[in-house]
Each structure stands twice: as structure tokens, then as C-alpha cells.
């Protein structure tokens, strides 16, 4: 999918579920390549730009993005005038499909459960999915609570994939059985994110409950017969010392990827500050992960390192903000839209039952406020939820960001 943006365009690769940014000149070439074969587009290029056009075409061909006739294998989203100061739509939307869970983890980002009154219906979600597809927001995270507790989850998945979205289910896997494993494995665009909190039962069960580790490992043996899955680890003060064991576990159970994220001070975790990793402990864990070899064809490690992502990412937003309101948005089980669910109900900007998602994304008060650069804002990057917890405001400084900048030293 070719998605127009104020800086040029994004090309969404359905095979990898990744967005590739291009500037205005390249976006113009991509647009012409959706209609005409590459040799025509090259011949029509000016002498000054021909080498650049040929280089772009060569790159697209090497990536397998061109059809046999030389045209770009992409459909276009037709928006004559995308927003001038933000993305047409978020790169990812997190949708809470149920406000209930079969576990009571001591660090749950979802907070106190249940809160499952008046949930969005499949029909309402289908309308949301159509809007997201029209905005080029193809990455969809399905969260809870525990999504597999929703009896119509397969209908939700089919509605999402029917609009070309790529849903990723975050689950504790305890409800996986033969039927679930087969059904999930048959849906090509669906990804599974299975959560654990350590490489062994002692560390994991201290957070998730007695016996959970062994039960999940049993479920993964069944799931792996039918579907690909990722193991997702939340780094806490108690497990940062065993990231290597987490990687080994992911290999052992047949995970496609091991993902590591820090514990954020949100949800029930705010009542357990002793679980929060220190900045130094988190950075040390990331550095040790860099020395763990990964098979690039069958296994990958995503340490969720801010420095690594900053070095590799294309620039698609303005200013020092985090993903909230810039590249991501969240929708609650009742349809309330938030720049980031971690920021709490005070940042809810509207409900999709009352306003189209695009309107809320474009001019919802919380979204506009987070995108604006105003006097008094001290946020310079990192995580706004961490800034809110430690320094009292989402517009204050994230202490981890300050430590990271101090570690890098003054700019020259």
C-alpha cells in the first residue's frame, strides 16, 4: 500500500508488516510506478534525476516490490492533501477487545479489571477497521485483558484482515487449545504475541501466579504446531539479570522472535514500584542482548532499544514527542480513543461511537496538545507515561531520557 504523507509517502509491506518512508521526490516516482512500467518512468525522468530514479527502481526490484510488467506492486490510498503536520493515520492502533482477564499479574498495564461493560461489537469494530484501512493504519494490536476470552475473537480477526489490517494478538496463551491453534494458524495476516516474565518458573510465576510458567510452555508446544508466535518479555528489576535465559527459552519453545520491553509505570505496576527496573539495569540488559546471536532466517531479537531504533528509523514525525499522538493511538473496549493508553483517561479525546476515528486523530484535543511545541514543555523524548509518573506531568522530562542524554554526553 502506498500512503500519501506530508513528507512524501509511506510504503506498507504486507509481507513484513513494516512501513518504509520516502521523501516527496521518491513518492512521486512511486506513484507513477503504480500506473506505468519502470522503463517508461525512467525514460520520462529528467537528465538530472535519471540516476536517482534508476537507483530507486533497482532497489524496489531487489526487494521484490515490482510486478513482472515493471509496475509497483502496490495499491494507492488517494488523499490529495494529507495533513501538513502529522501522519494521515497512526502507524499502529492498539484496540482493547475485552476488559477482563484470567490472570491478575502484579504489573499489568491494563490496570484494575474487569471493566468490560458495553464493549464494542464486531460490527462497530468493522466500521473502525474500514476507517483505519482508509488512513493507511494497517498494524493493529489486539489487547485486553485476555483477548482469547472474547468468544467472537475470530470474527474480529476476520473483519480486520478483510480490510487488509495485520492484527497482532497479545495473549497469555493459557486458553490455547487445538481449535484455537488451528484457527489462528490458518489466518496468514494474524500474529501472536505471548507474554512471559522470565526464563524460568520462579521469576515468571512471582508476577503471573503459581504454575503459570509450566502451563504456558505446554500451550506453546501445541501452538507451535500450527502458528508462528513471538515471546514478549517485560523487563523488571527481577528479571533483567536473566535476559540470556529468556532468549534461550524462546529458542527452545520455537518462538519466531523474542521481544524485550521495559516495565512502564502504568496500570497496577504503579502500586509495585519495586518491580521497576533502573535505567542502568535496563541498559545493561540491552547491551548483553547485543552479544546474543540470532538466526536471521528463523529467529530475531527485538530489545526495544530507543538508541537502536533512533539510529534506524525514518523520520516521519516532527519534534521530540514519543509515539503517542504521532505514530500510535489506542482505543478502549468501550471505544474511547487515547493517544496512548498508558497516559490514562485524562487524555481520552473522543469516542468512535460519537465521532469518526479520523476526526479524533486529526483534531482531538489531547492529540493536538501532544503534537504541539508549547512554552513550558520540558519533554524531550522517551516515554510520556514515565515522565507523568516520576515528574508529575506528561509534559515534564522523562528521567530515563535525561540519563540517556547524560550518558551520551553533550552535543558538539
Q: Which residue has the cell 552535543?
A: 411
Q: How far apart are CA 13 and CA 160, in angstroms?
A: 17
43: domain range?
A: 2-63
**Residue 25, pLDDT score:** 97
Which pLDDT tens digit goes with each residue over 234-280?
999 999 999 999 999 999 999 999 999 999 999 999 999 999 999 99
Whether 280 is in a domain gets the answer yes
Average pLDDT over residues 83-98: 97
Residue 98 lies inside a defined structural domain of this protein = yes
Return the CATH number at 188: 3.20.20.70
**Domain boundary residue among 250, 275, 309?**
309
Whether 340 maps to a domain, the answer reads: no
Q: Which residues contact residue 55 at a Cβ distance below 8 angstroms, ignoring those fewer than 6 apart? A: none
pLDDT tens digit sequence for 216-237:
999 999 999 999 999 999 999 9
DSSP state of 268: G
Q: Are residues 186 and 43 in the same domain?
A: no
Q: Is residue 204 part of a domain?
A: yes
pLDDT at residue 384 tops 50: yes
For position 312, what pLDDT does the model report?
A: 43
Element (H, E) at 286: helix 279-289
Instruction: Say how far apart CA 40 and CA 45 lie, in whole Å.
Output: 9
Predicted local distance difference test score (pLDDT) of residue 387: 95
Give 8-37 pLDDT, tens digit per residue: 999 999 998 999 999 999 999 999 999 999
Judge if 119 and 241 occupy the same domain. yes
Express each pLDDT in 44-86 by its tens digit. Answer: 999 999 999 999 999 999 999 999 999 999 999 998 889 999 9
* Reported confidence tier of residue 129, pLDDT bands at 50, 70, 90: very high
CA distances from 285 to 50, 76, 339 (A): 47, 42, 29
Q: Which of 17-26, 42-51, 342-351, 375-384 has the lowest mean pLDDT?
A: 375-384
Number of structural domains the chain divides into: 2
Helix (H) or strand (E) holding 51: helix 50-62
96 and 54 in a common domain:
no
The per-residue pLDDT for range 158-200, each reduced to its tens digit, is 999 999 999 999 999 999 999 999 999 999 889 999 999 999 9
Residue 412, pLDDT > 50, answer: no
- What is the model's pLDDT at position 298? 54
Do residues 97 and 175 share a domain?
yes
Residues in the chain: 412
Residue ending a domain, choose from 43, 63, 83: 63
Indicate whether 322 belongs to any domain. Answer: no
pLDDT score recorded for residue 295: 62
- Of the pLDDT bands very low, low, confident and very high (cuts 50, 70, 90), residue 404 is confident
Is 232 in the same domain as 288? yes
β-bridge partners, 3: 10
Give the separation between CA 149 and CA 197, rounded to whole angstroms. 21
Q: How far is CA 12 from CA 112, 161, 383, in A?
A: 36, 15, 26
Q: Are residues 59 and 96 in the same domain?
A: no
* Residue 47 counted as domain residue: yes
Stretch among 96-100, 128-132, 210-214, 310-314 having the lowest mean pLDDT: 310-314
In this prediction, residue 402 carries a pLDDT of: 85
Q: What's the CA gap between 153 and 38, in Å, rounded?
A: 42
Query: What's the pTM?
Result: 0.93
Angle between helices 212-223 and 243-253 (to 10 degrees): 40
User: Residue 14's pLDDT is what?
Assistant: 92
Which tens digit of pLDDT belongs to each residue from 299-343?
667 665 554 444 444 567 666 678 999 999 999 999 999 999 999
Query: What pLDDT is recorded for position 297?
Result: 53
Distance CA(186)–CA(307), nearest Å, equals 36
167 membership: H or E segment, kind and range: strand 166-171
Residue 410 maps to a domain: no
Kindly compute the dihedral angle of the four CA atoms of residues 216, 220, 221, 225, in this order, to the nearest 10 degrees.
160
Amino acid at each position: 500500500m502506498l500512503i500519501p504523507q506530508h513528507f512524501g509517502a509511506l510504503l506498507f509491506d504486507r509481507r513484513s508488516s513494516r512501513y518504509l518512508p520516502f521523501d516527496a521526490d521518491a513518492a512521486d516516482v512511486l506513484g507513477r510506478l503504480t500506473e506505468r512500467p519502470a522503463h517508461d518512468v525512467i525514460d520520462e525522468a529528467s537528465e538530472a534525476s535519471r540516476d536517482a530514479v534508476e537507483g530507486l527502481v533497482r532497489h524496489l526490484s531487489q526487494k521484490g516490490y515490482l510486478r513482472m510488467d515493471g509496475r509497483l506492486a502496490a495499491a494507492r490510498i488517494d488523499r490529495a492533501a494529507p495533513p501538513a503536520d502529522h501522519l494521515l493515520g497512526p502507524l499502529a492502533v492498539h484496540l482493547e477487545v475485552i476488559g477482563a482477564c484470567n490472570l491478575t499479574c502484579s504489573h499489568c498495564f491494563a490496570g484494575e479489571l474487569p471493566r468490560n461493560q458495553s464493549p464494542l461489537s464486531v460490527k462497530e469494530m468493522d466500521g473502525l477497521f474500514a476507517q483505519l484501512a482508509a488512513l493507511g493504519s494497517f498494524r493493529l494490536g489486539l489487547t485486553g485483558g485476555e483477548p482469547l476470552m472474547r468468544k467472537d475473537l475470530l470474527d474480529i480477526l476476520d473483519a480486520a484482515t478483510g480490510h487488509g489490517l495485520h492484527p497482532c494478538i497479545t495473549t497469555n496463551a493459557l486458553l490455547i487449545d487445538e481449535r484455537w491453534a488451528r484457527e489462528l494458524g490458518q489466518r496468514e495476516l494474524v500474529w501472536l504475541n505471548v507474554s512471559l516474565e522470565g526464563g524460568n518458573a520462579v521469576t515468571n510465576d512471582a508476577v503471573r501466579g503459581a504454575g503459570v510458567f509450566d502451563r504456558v510452555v505446554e500451550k506453546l508446544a501445541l501452538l507451535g504446531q500450527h502458528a508462528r508466535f513471538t515471546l514478549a518479555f517485560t523487563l523488571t528489576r527481577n528479571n533483567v539479570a536473566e535476559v540470556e535465559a529468556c532468549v534461550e527459552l524462546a529458542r527452545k519453545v520455537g518462538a519466531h522472535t523474542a521481544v524485550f520491553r521495559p516495565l512502564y509505570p502504568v496500570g497496577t505496576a504503579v502500586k509495585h514500584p519495586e518491580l521497576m527496573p533502573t535505567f542502568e539495569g535496563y541498559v545493561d540488559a540491552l547491551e548483553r542482548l547485543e552479544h546474543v546471536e540470532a538466526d536471521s532466517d528463523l529467529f530475531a531479537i527485538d530489545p526495544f532499544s530507543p538508541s537502536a531504533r533512533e539510529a534506524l528509523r525514518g523520520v516521519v514525525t516532527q519534534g521530540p514527542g514519543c509515539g503517542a499522538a504521532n505514530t500510535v493511538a489506542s482505543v478502549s473496549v468501550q471505544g474511547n480513543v487515547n493517544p496512548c493508553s498508558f497516559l490514562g483517561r485524562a487524555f481520552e479525546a473522543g469516542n468512535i461511537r460519537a465521532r469518526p476515528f479520523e476526526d479524533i486523530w486529526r483534531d482531538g484535543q489531547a492529540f493536538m496538545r501532544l503534537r504541539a511545541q508549547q512554552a513550558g514543555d520540558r519533554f524531550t523524548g522517551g516515554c510520556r507515561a514515565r515522565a507523568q509518573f516520576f515528574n508529575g506531568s506528561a509534559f515534564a522530562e522523562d528521567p530515563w531520557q535525561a540519563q540517556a542524554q547524560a550518558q551520551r554526553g553533550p552535543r558538539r
